[in-house]
Amino acid sequence: MLTSHQSLRKKPLSTGSLEPSAIAFDSRFQALDQGIIASLKAHYRRQWLAFMLNAFDNSEDPLKTINLHLALRWIIRSWYHDVSNTTIYNCFRKSTIIKNLIQLPLEHIPPLTDLYNQVQQHGRIHDAMDLSNFLNPAEETIQEGDIPSLKLFESDKVFAFLDINPLSRGHALVIPKFHGAKLTDIPDDQLSELLPVVKKIVNATGAENYNVLQNNGRIAHQEVDHVHFHMIPKPNVKEGLSVGWPQQKTNMDKLKELLAEVQAKM
């Protein structure tokens, strides 16, 4: 056996992993975080917008015609044909990995505003997320460490963290890792841990009075297009959630009709 092989055998290889907080802290030194990922995502989503626009023009539902094969094709095309060598070089230069610099022209991420507006108009989408959230969904930026988060709990399905703009002490959010804008977009198996985690946070914070809030849609006060549950302690009348309750008058006959209608669809 060669001596080099013998020396390798005498020095067993050890491995380790960085904590997520360390990775996020050092993201300025990671070339991918300096614009490569952003460029790839923008080019990929441009193809997704074009696909949606074409589907609406043909009276089709893009959410029913999209498939994994198309998504992979768009990612591969974006990486090999749209993300340029110049973009990659400039990002490595910003990360300080490259020491001997050369000057290359800057390349900008493709503008998507006009295409995004066309998709909204053709699809008659009145409750659409804004473009920045479409490009960088909140659940991605939080879980990837781009937005600081004070993590309380994490599992394969759920992520929970303290709200950085709390209504009261202990205000927390619990989100599914599966992306969906509204509750009905999340598969049942991905919802199974949400309320148990909310309950754990209630017990951990010692909240005696609290609200569990989950909004769906703009007019229902949803601002982030990813399902999330608020756990908001209500320690007194001034802190925590303040809500009105505009009750409507009805009668038993109408309620019975509604009961039958909803039961038939359950």
Full-prediction pTM beyond 0.75? Answer: no
- Alpha-carbon gap, residue 164 to 131, rounded angstroms: 23
Residues of the chain under the 70 pLDDT cut: 1-35, 89-91, 93-111, 123-149
Give the pLDDT score at 193: 94
User: Residue 168's pLDDT is what?
Assistant: 92
Residue with tokens 């009348």: 237
Please give the pLDDT value at position 22: 44
Residues in the chain: 266
All domains of the chain, ordered by start, with CATH?
23-126 (no CATH), 139-233 (3.30.428.10)
- What is d(CA 21, CA 35) in angstroms, rounded to the nearest whole number? 20
Identified catalytic residue from 171, 226, 228, 230: 228
Has 228 been annotated as catalytic? yes
- Looking at residue 15, its amino acid is T
